[in-house]
Structure 1
Amino acid sequence: MPAERRDLTGTVVLVTGAGAGIGAATARQLLDSGVRVVLADLDPAKAAAVAASFPAEQFLAVALDVRSPDAARQVVAEAVGRFGRLDSVVCNAGIGVFGGICDYSDDVLQAIVDTNLLGTVWAVRAAVQHFDARAAAGDAGGDVVLVASVAGLGTGGALEAVYGASKHGQVGLATSLAREVRERGIRVSTIAPAAVNTGFADGVGRTEGDPVKDGFLAPDDVAFAVVTVLEQPRRMRTALWSMWSMAEQP
């Protein structure tokens, strides 16, 4: 018999970068599955708009700058304050540019690393601290899902060195973290998509409305992967899910 899917109804999931793109698609699919979703974004109004068609009691939209460890802890506290617990965190917030190593300012490259890598670290730490506190009370388990990129798997392009480095860091973080927390009932999964048709890097290496994007993955494709790994029976875990559109050559 096929493995049963876990019913996610009533569970609580934090999604970072939930105001647009993959984060918004993920939040909507989770809400459709009956999940109570904390939509965290630099712009909480955009995050709230993503969930506007769902019952107000099913979601919480909050401001989050993932580069701040204090802000990450505060968002987890807000999630617990609203819903009583946190079951999963989806670390999706990210930025990037396409260009040579010398084409952008120091501040831009620093922001990529701070957002993509350290921003993931802070959100993961805050979530794992909560999972461990729950486990001490007899309620062990939790899920950490990182939305990385195939650029973190050695297939990055020639004009995304710093972005690729930040994504390699996410993959390395997930690999070691999975070994650290598995025996505590915490699963760690990495979703690594190739190009996705979003506003990512528009104006900094990509052009809004470029028809080449029509052959990219859709945000809902990546969201499907996120929801699928969360729905797995607790006895199993997906370490890495890399995905390409049929139009792209790995």
Structure 2
Amino acid sequence: MSASMRSLDNTVIVITGAGGGIGGATARLALEAGARVVAADLKESEVQHLVETWGPARVAVVAGDIREEATSDAIVRAGVEAFGRVDSVIANAGIGFYGGILDATPEQVRMMVDVNLLGSVWLARAAVRQFRAQGDGGDVVIIGSVAGLLIGGGKEAVYAATKGAQINLGHALDRELRQEGIRTTVIAPAGVNTRFAAADGRFGDTEPEDGPFMQPADIAGAVVYTLTQPRRMRTELWTMWSLAEQH
């Protein structure tokens, strides 16, 4: 007997940070699964290739700074205007600076807090307004990190704090919203072969895509699987590790 899965055909999925490694992979897998995608990033040029490949009937793009509440409102509104509704949002946009507690500038500290935490809050708020207007539930997926689970290394204190906040945000939203059929999931990966992870020098002279950790598509696959789970179930927190790492 095969497990019943929810089809993503013609569902509308919003993805922030869709121009990056995990965000881009998530957009591609969602499109391959039949979804329509609102691809958001700081610069339209980072996501325009998705429209060129899949066409405007499948992809809408939005440029904006996720630190601003109005950006999330505009992203969700773009999904409604282009496709008539929004079914899922993926809070993927994130930023981090490696180093000791005194190494980051005040501007870098503020950026991590605003992008990682406030960006997730604003997107969740915009999504919940739309889900309630539609009246048939929805999905909020937050891309966190194992750094938020007291597991991270010793050179990412502020980043780990923002990721811990994202995990707590997800748990609290789950308790608040699940009775309305709105599922909240935090996916918390460890090392991924991206240029973001390469910033701490862990890859040496190796190109990030050839690194020993998980590939962006691995995380994207977890996102798509989470969305295809039957509506009778939900995943609250999913931690992911490569075999190359220990904790």
> TM-score w.r.t. structure 2 length?
0.95
Distance between the aligned counterparts of 2:203 and 2:160, measured in 1?
22
C-alpha spacing 1:209/1:23, structure 2 compared with 1 (3 Å):
farther
Bigger mean CA deviation after superposition, 65-74 or 208-217: 208-217
SS at match of 2:183: strand
Quick check: 2:95–2:112 contact (8 Å CA) kept in 1?
A: yes
Distance between the aligned counterparts of 1:32 and 1:42, measured in 2?
24
How many Å apart are 1:169 and its aligned residue? 0.2
How many Å apart are 1:209 and its aligned residue? 6.8
**What is the one-letter code of the residue matched to 2:201?**
R
SS at match of 2:57: helix
Structure 2 counterparts to residues 3-18 of structure 1, below 5 A: 3-18=3-18
SS at match of 1:211: coil
SS at match of 1:152: helix
**What is the one-letter code of the residue matched to 1:176?**
A
State the aligned residue count: 245
% identical equivalent positions = 49
Quick check: 1:45–1:61 contact (8 Å CA) kept in 2?
A: no
Unaligned runs of 5+ in 2: none
Structure 2 counterparts to residues 158-169 of structure 1, below 5 A: 158-169=154-165
Map of 1:52 onto structure 2:
52
* Residue 242 of structure 2 is aligned to residue 241 of structure 1: no
Distance between the aligned counterparts of 1:56 and 1:165, measured in 2?
38
Structure 2 counterparts to residues 117-136 of structure 1, below 5 A: 117-135=117-135
Distance between the aligned counterparts of 1:233 and 1:205, measured in 2?
39
How many Å apart are 1:14 and its aligned residue? 0.1
Distance between the aligned counterparts of 1:87 and 1:210, measured in 2?
41
Map of 1:70 onto structure 2:
70
Map of 1:182 onto structure 2:
178
How many Å apart are 1:52 and its aligned residue? 2.9
Quick check: 1:98–1:206 contact (8 Å CA) kept in 2?
A: no
Distance between the aligned counterparts of 2:57 and 2:192, measured in 1?
31
Question: What RMSD over aligned residues (CA atoms) do the two structures have, in Å?
Answer: 1.5
How many Å apart are 1:171 and its aligned residue? 0.1
1:49-87 superposed Cα distances (whole Å, 9 cap, x missing partner): 145321331001110211000111111111101110000
Bigger mean CA deviation after superposition, 89-98 or 205-214: 205-214
Bigger mean CA deviation after superposition, 169-178 or 53-62: 53-62
Distance between the aligned counterparts of 2:207 and 2:188, measured in 1?
20
Distance between the aligned counterparts of 2:53 and 2:202, measured in 1?
30
* Residue 84 of structure 2 is aligned to residue 114 of structure 1: no
* Residue 21 of structure 2 is aligned to residue 24 of structure 1: no
1:177-223 superposed Cα distances (whole Å, 9 cap, x missing partner): 00000000000011000011111155x53377743851111000000
Unaligned runs of 5+ in 1: none
How many Å apart are 1:230 and its aligned residue? 0.2
Distance between the aligned counterparts of 2:20 and 2:187, measured in 1?
17
Distance between the aligned counterparts of 2:151 and 2:15, measured in 1?
26
Map of 1:205 onto structure 2:
200
C-alpha spacing 1:232/1:46, structure 2 compared with 1 (3 Å):
same
Bigger mean CA deviation after superposition, 60-69 or 168-177: 60-69
Quick check: 1:150–1:156 contact (8 Å CA) kept in 2?
A: yes
Quick check: 2:50–2:59 contact (8 Å CA) kept in 1?
A: no
